[in-house]
Amino acid sequence: MGGPDHRSSDEDETEGPGGMMYVTDIVSSAGSVLLVGVLLFAVSGVWPPLVAIESPSMDPHIKEGDLVFVMEEERFSGPDDHGGVVTAANDDSYRKFQQPGDVIVYEPDGNSRQTPIIHRAMLWVDDGENWYDRANKDYIGSANSCDELSSCPADHAGFITKGDNNGRYDQVGSNPISEPVRPGWVVGTAEMRVPLLGQVRLQWNQAGATDVVPSETGPAVTNETGSTAVNTTASG
């Protein structure tokens, strides 16, 4: 006669009906997350298609802790665009997040190791252009001429950008956030936000120190499950 079955409780849990249901639920949930990610990527053309906002410089239109859907800039672009991006100066009637111009996610100075920035495209400047006269004087600090303005004349063609809650362009000051943003540095355009949902990802990132890569503008945070944290970089 055979002896008693001495299988462990772990074996019972995984091989029994309840254990199999548990495994099936995990596989099903993982498959659903993967499917949603694939669908969002198919629509947006950008990976990751969702970004969590980690600072308040786009207040009040995009807030810290929001989750923002980002789309490849040349998909469904607006009128009079530059590489799919419409600037605030180009078309005052074209509005995103309640103000003129597209909100873009870009790599500062084209550096993919730094935290991406999500700010508004204010105007386009050509290579070598003296853009002082076209600038909003409220956003250039104490500069009284092109010679006193960072990135003027422009070292190359690109976008002059600004956070809605910031007092100056990203390209001015003693320590500018970025040179004029080349089209190749643009990750995509922000299309819609889900309030507060990004807090989940930000808290997860804070708990996992191995996910954080130091940068000059803030922590660069990657997320294998389909979103990333971006810095809106508050400045004076």
The pLDDT tens digits for 3-57 are 555 544 444 444 555 556 655 655 554 455 555 555 555 555 677 788 888 889 9
* 104, part of any domain: yes
Whole-number Cα distances in Å, 8 to 5, 13, 70 = 9, 9, 49
91 and 15 share one domain? no
| Strands laid side by side in the 50-53 sheet | 158-162, 117-125, 103-106, 186-194, 67-71, 50-53, 227-230, 220-221, 212-213
34 and 91 share one domain? no
Question: Which residues lie across from 53 on neighbouring strands?
Answer: 230
Instruction: Spell out where 95-162 has E strands.
Output: 95-96, 99-100, 103-106, 117-125, 158-162
93 and 165 share one domain? yes
In angstroms, the CA 58 to CA 51 distance is: 14
The pLDDT tens digits for 178-202 are 999 999 999 999 998 988 665 555 5
Query: At which residue do the structure tokens 């130091």 appear?
Result: 214
Q: Which domain holds residue 22?
A: 9-44
Whether pTM exceeds 0.85:
no
40 and 67 share one domain? no
